[in-house]
Amino acid sequence: MRFLARSLAGLVMASLTLGLLAMAGHSIWSAIQARSADPGRPGFARERVFAVRVMEFEPQTVEPVLETFGEVRSLRTLELRAPAAGRVVEVAPELADGAMVAAGQLLLRIDPADARAARDLAAADLARAEADLREAARAVDLAHEDRAAAEAQAELRQRALDRQRDLVSRGVGTDAAVETAELALSSAAQAVVSRRQSVAQAEARREQSETALARARIQLAEAERRLANTELRAEFAGRLTGVSVVAGGLLNTNEKIGQIIDPDALEVAFRVSTAQYARLTDAEGRPFDGPVLVTLDVMGTEVYSTGRMSRVSAAVGEAMTGRLIYVSLDAPRGFRPGDFVALQVTEPAVAQVARLPATAVDASGEILVLGDDDRLRAARVEVVRRQGQDVLVRAPDLAGARVVAERGPNLGPGIRVRPLAPEADAATVGSPAIARMSSEAERRPGAGPAAGNDAGGMVVLDAERRARLVAFVEADTRMPPEARARVLSQLAADQVPAGVIARIESRIGG
C-alpha cells in the first residue's frame, strides 16, 4: 500500500514538471512570434566614440640632438722610459700610480758615477785642446814676425846690389862686389821663402788645434748630455700611471717605466654613421660648430662638461663603418681616459618641422588628423628625424591641425572621437643640451660645468634631513672621493638640487 502511494506521488510530480516545461516553451515561442510580427520602430546601433589625446601640429625651427656614446681619450700622453742604463739610486716619492707631478720635477736618478767621470775626462781634453790652440796661435804670430824680418833683410840686400851696380856703371866698382851682392840677395830671398813655409805650417797647426778644440767641445757636450740622462724629469704637469720601478733596480736603455697623462687635455671620440656624419659637417668636411654635452654617470652622480667637435678621423679603420669624430672638452675635470660617456650633439637647425610623439606616426609615415566633425582622417607626413621618443615631421599643409598623439588599434580614418584637453608640453623645443647648459649657467653664474643634476628645482633642507643625507654620503665607500666631495658641497648649500636628494634617498630607501 505504501509502495503504491509513493508511485502515485512520483507520477504526479513528473506530470507537473512536464506541464511547467511545456508552459515555458509556449511562452518563449509566443514572445518570438509577437516580436517578429510587431510593426513598430526598427532597432539601431549607437555609434561608438573614442576618447583620444590630441596636440596641435606646430611647424617651427628645431635643433635636433644626436644622442650617442663615446670614449674619453688623452691628447697628451708621454711614455716614461729610462734614458740610460744603470742602477736606480733615487726615486721621487710622487713616482706612483695616480700621483700628480709638476713640470720639470725629478722622478728618478740613475747612478751617475760613470757618466760624471766621462764628463770630467772630456773637460780635461777640452782644456788641453784650448792650450794647444793658444800655443799654435802664438807660433803663427812668431812665424809672421820671422817672415817680416826675412823680407826686410831681402830688401836691404836688394838695395846693396843696386848700389854696387851703380858704382860699376860709374867705373868705381868691381864686378866681384856685384856678384857678392847678388849672392847675398839670393840667400835673403831663400830665407823669405823658408819663413813663408814656416808661417803656412804654423797656420795649419792652428787650424788643426781649432778642429781638435771643436771635437773636445762636442765630446764634453755629449758627456754632459749623458750625465743629464741619468735624471728623468717630467716634461709637463700630469698624472702618473703604469709605474713599474723601485729604488735599487737595474734599468736598460729605453726601458718603459710608466706613463704621464695630462688631465687637462682630454677629448672624446665617438663614432657615427655616414648619414649622421653628413649632417654634422659642412661642404668642406669641417665639423659643425655646435655645442656638445658630455655626461658621465659616477655612482648616481652625473659629471658633465661642454665641448666642441674639433676634427674628424682621416680613415674609417679596419673592420669599422661610419666616421670617428673628436670632441674637445671645455672642463675635463672629473673625466679620465677610458671613461665611457654619453654625448648629446646639437645638429644644425631644421626649419618647418613639428615635434610629435613617436606613437603618433605609423610605419608608413601617416598620422591621424581631426576634422571639423571630430572624425579622423589620415594624412601623410615626411619623417625628417627621430629624437628618442619623438619624431620631427614636415607637412606644411597641416599647420594648426589637431593630431592624435597616441594611435591605437581601434582608431582609423572615419572614426569619431572625443578629443581630450592637451597636456602640458613637457618637450623642450630646440636643443636639450643647450637648455641644460643654460640652466646650469643661470644656477651657477660664472662657474664652468660641474657635476650634478638639478632636475626638479632647488629644495631647502631641514637640519635633520640634511644630516641624514650627509651621513649616508660620508659612509658610502663605493663613491669616488671626488664625487663624494662634490655631493657634500651641494648638500652644504642653502638650497640643494632636488635630483641629488632624490637619488640619495632612493639608495637609502628614504
Is pLDDT at 425 greater than 60 in this prediction? no
Whole-number percent of the chain with pLDDT over 70 = 89
What was the pLDDT predicted at 454?
A: 40
Separation CA 127–CA 311 (nearest Å) = 55
**Is 6 part of a structural domain of the chain?**
no
Instruction: Copy the grid coordinates of residue 187.
Output: 840667400
For 206-247, how does the pLDDT look when each residue is reduced to its tens digit (9 = 90+)? 999 999 999 999 999 999 999 998 999 998 999 999 898 888
Question: What are the CA-CA distances from residue 81 to residues 133, 136, 317, 364 (Å)?
Answer: 41, 45, 29, 62
Nearest to 52 by CA among 274, 374, 349, 321: 374
- pTM exceeds 0.95: no
Q: Are residues 379 and 341 in the same domain?
A: no
Is pLDDT at 457 greater than 70 in this prediction? no
Q: Are residues 340 and 356 in the same domain?
A: no
Domain total for the chain?
4
For 270-283, how does the pLDDT look when each residue is reduced to its tens digit (9 = 90+)? 999 988 888 888 88
Is pLDDT at 123 greater than 90 in this prediction? yes
Q: Are residues 313 and 222 in the same domain?
A: no
**Is 59 part of a structural domain of the chain?**
no
Look up cell 657635476; give the residue: 451
Separation CA 209–CA 298 (nearest Å) = 70
Domain containing 368 equals 350-420
**Is 475 part of a structural domain of the chain?**
yes
What was the pLDDT predicted at 341?
A: 92
| Phi/psi of residue 55, nearest 5 degrees | -145, 155
**Is 309 part of a structural domain of the chain?**
yes
Q: Are residues 272 and 329 in the same domain?
A: yes
Nearest to 335 by CA among 231, 247, 208, 450: 450
Q: Are residues 484 and 402 in the same domain?
A: no
Q: Which of 300, 327, 346 is a domain's end point? A: 346
Is pLDDT at 267 greater than 90 in this prediction? yes
CA 470 to chain centre: 33
**Is 213 part of a structural domain of the chain?**
yes
Separation CA 439–CA 458 (nearest Å) = 12
For 157-178, how does the pLDDT look when each residue is reduced to its tens digit (9 = 90+)? 888 888 888 888 887 778 788 8
Nearest to 58 by CA among 486, 429, 483, 359: 429
**Is 99 part of a structural domain of the chain?**
no
Which strands sit side by side in the sheet containing 350-357, from one edge to the other?
60-62, 350-357, 390-394, 382-387
What was the pLDDT predicted at 227?
A: 92
Separation CA 180–CA 27 (nearest Å) = 185
> What sign for the dihedral angle of Cα 257, 258, 262, 267?
positive
Q: What is the DSSP letter of 45?
A: P
Q: How confident is the model at residue 8 (pLDDT cuts 50, 70, 90)?
A: confident
**Is 339 part of a structural domain of the chain?**
yes
What was the pLDDT predicted at 184?
A: 86
**Is 66 part of a structural domain of the chain?**
no
